[in-house]
Amino acid sequence: MDKLKYGYKDHLIGKDHRLHYGKGFSKSLIPCQRVADGNLVVGILNTGNNLKAGKDRQPISLQIDEGKGYDLTYPGKSALLVFDQYERVKMGEFILATFARNINRNDHLFVATVDLIEEAGWSIYWTPLPERESWLHTRIVPQCYSHQGKDPGEEEMKALQSVFVKEF
């Protein structure tokens, strides 16, 4: 990992295109692959007090530094990995740094662990968007889609909404 693409004290992205985190950066995620670490926290920024259920249908295709390509075609909901640094920044700084816009007084961050999201019938895929400098971007994909090719119904959406709690 002698070449650093992005980094912070508790996570970094090295020349191997993986997100490294944990003690001694011993754990890693591969772009467009399912996140298996149930202890990681995922956040969704939402305007208003209730988590809305939008869908991202655009496939994600990454070609990083003329290296290996990564693809994810499953539709889902955009989110981001929430590491330690977000505990110490103000909401305005968080919005500006992550979404490149000013804060709206109705903005709220909803969070849940990967384990809880999986139990609700959804999976997390790490889908960095380097062109937008959104290295912690993820996609929450309904398991009914990844297993059967069917869109989530109201029951699946309510299950996902029920595991997220408002952080700020």
Chain segment 49-104, per-residue pLDDT in tens:
555 555 677 878 887 666 678 888 888 888 889 886 555 455 566 666 666 777 77
Q: Tell me how far apart the alpha carbons of residues 18 and 149 are, in angstroms, rounded to a whole number.
A: 28
pLDDT, one tens digit per residue, over 14-54 is 877 889 998 888 999 999 999 999 999 998 877 655 555 55
Q: What is the mean pLDDT of residues 96-125?
A: 84
Higher confidence at residue 31 or residue 12?
31
Would the pLDDT of 125 be above 60?
yes
Residues 6+ apart with CB under 8 A from 37: 27, 29, 114
**Helix (H) or strand (E) run with residue 94 in it:** helix 91-99
**Rounded to two decimals, what is the model's pTM?**
0.83
Mean pLDDT of 109-125: 94
Written as one string, the DSSP assignment of 127-140 is --BGGGTBTTEEEE
How far is residue 104 CA from its own chain's centroid?
21
pLDDT for the residue numbered 115: 97
Strand (E) or helix (H) holding 162: helix 154-163
Look up tokens 């952080």; give the residue: 167
Which secondary structure element, helix H or strand E, spans residue 147, and what is its range? Answer: helix 143-148
Copy the structure tokens of residue 152. 């989530």
Of 4-18, 128-142, 153-167, which range is least confident? 4-18
